[in-house]
Amino acid sequence: MVWVHFALLFACIIYAAKLGGIGVGMAGGLGMAIAVFGFGMKPGFIPVDVILIIMTVIFTCSVMHIAGGMDYLVRVSGNLLRRNPKYINILAPLVTFFLTVLSGTGYTAMSVLNVIQEVAKQNGVRPSQPLTGAVIASQVAITASPISAATAAMYVTVETMGVSFGSAMMVILPAAFFGSAVSALIASFQGCDLSKDPIFQQRMAQGLVNMAPADAAEKPLPAGAKASVVIFLCSVFFIVLMLLFKKQIGHGLGSRDIIVLTMLTAGLIMFWVCKVPLSKIKESSIFAGGYESLIVILGIVWLSSTIIMPYIPGIKATATEMLKQYPALLALAFFCVSALLFSQGSTSALLVPVAASLGCDASTILASFVACSALYITNVYPTSAFAISCDDTGSYMGKWSGSFVINHPFFIPGLVGLAAAVPFGFLMAGMVL
């Protein structure tokens, strides 16, 4: 029966990849109905911590969005990119990396992808190069963000192993940054120059490429735009301080409770200071995208835990011995599961407790954690799909169309980046811990 159960899981995952977006959660719901009502399986755990963290972070980002804070960040980022077009392949990933680290969600990176493709094509750079580096950086940066659901789910486990929050960040942040840098470097060499691309030339002749620069006249930002960014950054700083100096402060709050409490309070302060209309918050595109991610996590992670968890005792003996001999296998597990679940938070919530129960030490978990970022394996993840859709030059078409699932520009840079980041993570773990 075990093979039937796992066949169901993989069938639902394949169907989820075909549907994409919110359909991933719906496919998980279908699998749950078959597993519970058809096979009589007991429902597994629902990743409540991950869902609560994502819910509140997305809420606060949405408030900041309505207050004009996201527009302000995009404007600052856009100005940086436009003033330094020669370095677009370096700056684009750098911008999306730090936007994601600070916000805890990769959806913020989507706000600058249009600017990246615009600056790239106007300066003769193949847009797929900086866009690919930027998308991968935003996905990897989730494993370096102090307020992401993935980091919170991971730290809940390693905290019980006596690892301080500062020590954990000193491993995962450099590893993620190094992996993103390697990915951006590889991406910058992919594909021919835009001027030599026959697909681009054909689309230009057909009038399908807009080469006109964006309107220089910028709309005035709402009065509370900058204030909302300051409030949000202060809330992130507060979370980091509360986790870094937990012993000195003497509080007993976990990372989930600190993040949820702080994000809800920050949203309220933005409402007071920035005069945000409450009825507009739910209209934010970030709010809608965040709700989609909640459904994705609820459906597919619930299905995975339902099918996998009953077989954990039987796997333990073999897996424990293998992980002792080859600790990097944990990174491979993170990699494969994140590619299947389309979620770093879900992967972390599902596998980190399992890894700890199998006897993995904190060093191995922290060093391997960056491998939870294999969302680029297919090109259906929202940031990947948006990067492709916003590029009108055709740099993602032809050889790079992704028609054979993995033949797209995200695959090789992402793969090499994580292959470099994991050993670097083990190096940092050895130095820090």
Residue pLDDT tens, the chain, 433 long: 888 988 998 888 778 767 766 887 898 899 999 999 999 999 988 878 878 888 898 899 899 999 999 889 888 988 899 899 989 999 999 999 999 998 887 777 887 998 999 999 988 899 999 999 999 999 999 999 998 888 988 988 898 898 999 999 999 999 999 999 999 999 999 988 888 889 999 998 888 888 766 554 567 888 899 999 999 999 999 999 998 888 888 888 888 899 999 999 999 999 999 999 999 998 888 887 777 778 877 887 788 888 877 887 776 666 667 777 788 889 998 998 888 777 788 788 778 888 888 788 999 999 999 999 998 887 777 788 888 888 889 999 887 777 676 788 999 999 999 999 999 999 999 999 8
Write down the H helix ranges in 141-252: 149-159, 165-187, 198-205, 225-244, 246-249
Cα(314)–Cα(181) distance, integer angstroms = 40
The residue segments making up the domain with residue 243 are: 46-212+220-432
Cα(386)–Cα(172) distance, integer angstroms = 27
Q: Is 281 among the domain residues?
A: yes
Q: Is 353 among the domain residues?
A: yes
Q: Is 132 among the domain residues?
A: yes
Task: Tell which residue, 344, 261, 289, 243, has the closest CA to residue 56.
Answer: 261
Decide if 122 contacts 165 (C-beta within 8 A): no
Residue 103: predicted pLDDT: 84
Task: Tell which residue, 267, 347, 225, 239, has the closest CA to residue 55.
Answer: 267
Distance, C-alpha 124 to centroid of its chain: 29
Q: Report the 10 Å Cβ neighbour count for 283.
A: 12
Burial readout 392-401 (b: 16 or more C-beta within 10 A, e: otherwise):
bbbbbbeebe
Q: Is 28 among the domain residues?
A: no
Q: Is 202 among the domain residues?
A: yes
Cα(336)–Cα(364) distance, integer angstroms = 17
Q: Which two tokens stand for residue 407?
A: 């033949």
Number of structural domains the chain divides into: 1
Residue 405: predicted pLDDT: 67
How would you class 432 by CB atoms within 10 Å of its CB: exposed for 0-12, middle for 13-18, buried for 19 or more?
middle
Q: Is 20 among the domain residues?
A: no
Helices (H) then strands (E): counts for the chain:
21, 0
- The set of long-range contacts for 401-408, using a CB threshold of 8 Å and a minimum separation of 24, is 402/378, 405/378, 406/377, 406/378, 408/379, 408/384
The structure's pTM equals 0.84
